[in-house]
Structure 1
Amino acid sequence: MADEDRTRTDSGAEDASAKHRSGAVTSGQTRAALRRVARARQRRRWAVEGVVVLACLAALISYLSFRSEPAPDDDQAGRSGGVTGVVARSPGFPATDGRTGDAGPAEPGLRPRQRPPSPDPTPSTTAPAPPPPSQQSPELSVTRGEMPAEVNLTAVGARDWMHWGQRGGNSTVRKRAGSGEIADEGGAGTRVAWDGNQEHVRWSDGSSQRSVRDSSEGVYTCGAGNGFSLAVAGSGESRTVHLYGGIWMARGRLEARLSTGGPASSAVLEDPYTSQSAQFTIKFTVPKGARLLLTWKVEKVFTPHCGNVGLQAVAVR
């Protein structure tokens, strides 16, 4: 038994020794291989760095060689045609602005230092300013429309208004603090007050009568050729005038003209059988100091019993 145990012990020791020697050999071989790989990598790195250094040296030598070449003389370049399309310049040739010396490089196809022609100035497209109001051309137009059932003179006559017949044939009421542009110039025939107009007027800024809520009053005059003459002052600006009038069994004609002359404009209102009312709108422009002249008169009667034209109010805005 003792011999058998010694034999097993010796065998185990030999196996362990063999394994130790095998591991040592393998470890040594691995370290040698790694050293060979490291040396190979270092040689490749040195080779790459050497190529880079050589390329940089070549570039530096090329650059220094280029900088050291002498520049060609301008006159020789001009004579030999070394620069395509550039014409030789003669020092001291007069420049186009009267000075002598170098005027800059010439352009192809031009004589030495000849400058290209300046472009034509662009014409101005700015529209002329409109003339001041005092220089505007006179204008005049007359239209006729239906008179509203109620007219607020305070609202319509922002600048001025005038009403007739509130207290008799010769009575008038004006706008308080108005412009005073409306003038009653009289007219042929006798004025008669009338309070039966179907259309009514109102105001809240009157002078002699401050406020009226519902007025049917007006005036009329009978017979062919009779009527009313009015005027409205001009200011150089466009103005609009509303005249509220009517007829009874007659033909009435409203004629408008300017004190500065020129053609007149007119409108007609006619009814052979009964009465009618209308709103006449007159637009005009005349210089300050000139006037719009209005004539509202009977042109024809259709009854021997006082065919007439009537007038209620005039407003300016």
Structure 2
Amino acid sequence: MPDDTSAPRRPHPSAALPAALLRDSRRRPMAEYLMPAAIIVAGILLVVAFGIVINSVVRGKEPTALPAPPPPALGDIPPASDQAVIPLPSDPPSAGTPSPARPSTTPPARKTRPPAPPPNAVTIAKAAVPGKVDLSDEGDRDWVHWGQEGKFSLERAKDGDFQILEGAPTAPRFRQTRAKEQFSWQDGSPVASSGGTVVGINTCDKGNGFTLSVPAAKDDRTLRLYVGVQKAKGTLGAKLSTGGSTEAGTLEERGDGFATAVFKITYRSAQGGKLNLTWTTTETFGDGCGGVALQAATLR
């Protein structure tokens, strides 16, 4: 039998490979491990970078040196942004489609109170008597004249509705003709007309005189009272029946003469009522009949 040691040995398969190919086969396992490791490390770095960006946004800081995202491909949906959406104009509703009602922003109208009535008011002004007075022209509401037919006579406007009224006499009265001014009228009663008269009436002694009244209203009215005094001081008082203060005016004659004047009384009342007047002798001077006199009155 032949000796096994003497038989020729077959070469190892690796011995027949070239040396360069052998070296590549030994290095290939290392490359196969490095490539996955590099991919894993790159993923970790990407996650860390994304976390830094999110942390910067939460803290209000701008991210640093991040590349701008690539533009979206045609047909892709663009990313949402913080910009407000601008509404597009829509077609107006058709005539048959009612538009939704909008809540009114106009505040409700406040209830207004009715205007307050004018306050009570009385004023008195004194002036000289003109040489001639036309009572019919001046007194478009009413007028009166005293004494033409006697000491108790009263001539007045036919259509004056008795707005000027004299109170009941409280003292003796007399017919007098000492005034210089003339009074005329038309459409009177019981005396139809007069071209001019100086007649009037008077009283004597302190405390005596006359009382009158006229209706009051919310609008201004004017009463003119033609008076006289002889050897006396006369005081005119005027007060509304609805309240208020008493207004006064005076006229005085200390000698033997006969003084005359016209008192212009302007008045109004918030509640209607009347204006009450007193013309009284408050002082007398010397002997004889000292007192106040009445001539005429007009209302407009």
Query: Normalized against structure 1, the TM-score is what?
Result: 0.60
Per the TM alignment, residue 103 of structure 1 is displaced from its structure 2 partner at its CA by 11
Structure 1 match to 2:58 = none
Residue 160 (structure 1) aligned with residue 142 (structure 2) = yes
Structure 2 match to 1:257 = 239
One-letter code of the match for 1:305?
A: G
- Greater RCO structure (CA 8 Å; 6+ sep): 2
**Aligned-partner Cα distance in 1 for 2:294–2:149:** 14
* Matched-pair contact (CA < 8 Å) for 1:247–1:310: yes
Structure 2 match to 1:33 = none
1:272 to 254, 265, 275: 254
Unaligned runs of 5+ in 2: 1-73, 91-102
Per the TM alignment, residue 175 of structure 1 is displaced from its structure 2 partner at its CA by 0.3
Listed one character per residue, the Cα deviations across residues 77-116 of structure 1 (whole Å, up to 9, x for unaligned) are: 7x246xxxx5148xxxxxxxxxxxx8989xxxxxxxxxxx
**Aligned-partner Cα distance in 1 for 2:140–2:88:** 71
Pairs within 5 Å for 1:163-182: 163-182=145-164
1:304 to 280, 287, 291: 287
* Matched-pair contact (CA < 8 Å) for 1:187–1:226: no
2:196 to 214, 221, 231: 214
One-letter code of the match for 1:203?
A: W
Query: Normalized against structure 2, the TM-score is what?
Result: 0.64
Per the TM alignment, residue 72 of structure 1 is displaced from its structure 2 partner at its CA by 10
Structure 2 match to 1:292 = 275
Unaligned runs of 5+ in 1: 1-70, 90-101, 106-117
**Aligned-partner Cα distance in 1 for 2:277–2:88:** 76
Change in Cα spacing, 1:80 to 1:149, as seen in structure 2 (3 Å) is same
**Aligned-partner Cα distance in 2 for 1:303–1:140:** 34
Per the TM alignment, residue 236 of structure 1 is displaced from its structure 2 partner at its CA by 2.6
One-letter code of the match for 2:149?
A: R
**Aligned-partner Cα distance in 1 for 2:85–2:215:** 79
1:281 to 243, 257, 264: 264
Could you say which structure has the higher helix fraction? Answer: 1
Pairs within 5 Å for 1:13-92: 76=78, 79-80=80-81, 86-88=83-85
Listed one character per residue, the Cα deviations across residues 264-309 of structure 1 (whole Å, up to 9, x for unaligned) are: 1000111211221000010111256510000001010012201111
SS in 2 for 1:190: coil
Structure 2 match to 1:146 = 128
**Aligned-partner Cα distance in 2 for 1:153–1:122:** 58
SS in 1 for 2:202: strand
* Matched-pair contact (CA < 8 Å) for 1:188–1:225: no
Per the TM alignment, residue 137 of structure 1 is displaced from its structure 2 partner at its CA by 1.7
Structure 1 moving runs of 4+ over 4 Å? 102-105, 120-124, 127-131
**Aligned-partner Cα distance in 2 for 1:178–1:170:** 19
Cα RMSD (Å) of the superposition? 3.3
2:211 to 180, 204, 229: 229
Instruction: Give the share of equivalent positions with the same residue, in percent.
Output: 32
* Matched-pair contact (CA < 8 Å) for 1:234–1:285: yes
Per the TM alignment, residue 186 of structure 1 is displaced from its structure 2 partner at its CA by 2.7
Per the TM alignment, residue 129 of structure 1 is displaced from its structure 2 partner at its CA by 6.7
